[in-house]
Amino acid sequence: MEDLLKLIRVVPDFPKPGIGFFDITTLVKDADGFRQVIDEFYQHYKDVKIDRIAGIESRGFVFASALAYKMGKGLILLRKPGKLPAEKYRAEYSLEYGTDAVEMHTDAVEKGMSILVIDDLLATGGTARAACELVEKAGGTVAGVGFVIELAFLKGREKLKEYKVFTMIEVKSE
């Protein structure tokens, strides 16, 4: 997985001073690197009961959609406020550099469904926690929460301790 880390550009002071932004655009433009990420997710989750895969806006969409296609599952888009046109659930969360919210259509998850949540990066855990809350609010269960990168020094995994968390790359220090 260290090869994957080499494909990810870190942009200093974005979106504000002091933040190092892990830019996955350099990973997904590399066909072999992108394929490796999707194959790794597939290998990890192929034997897990999953009804649908939820991708968190926006970079999570990239990985969740490719994985949903490979696994033959439906895709759920978890969006920022004001982007979904129909009735929706909403959950607010805090980021390492502010606050935000995520929304999901109320008909995206049927009661009892098992949903895999995918995003590119686990930082403080707030976004993923809110995504899991949306799934549960709709009557689903969280089959797992998967990430390409985990910034372990931000301790986001602690907010997700009741879920099965999978990460491919662990960054231990800033």
Which listed residue (59, 79, 129, 157) is catalytic? Answer: 59
Distance CA 53, CA 116 (A): 5
Distance CA 134, CA 127 (A): 11
> Is residue 158 annotated as part of the catalytic site, yes or no?
no
> Is residue 96 annotated as part of the catalytic site, yes or no?
yes
Which listed residue (9, 35, 92, 96) is catalytic? Answer: 96
Sign of CA dihedral 155, 134, 40, 161: positive
Tokens 């009741």 sit at which residue? 162
Distance CA 58, CA 163 (A): 22
Residues belonging to the active site: 59, 96
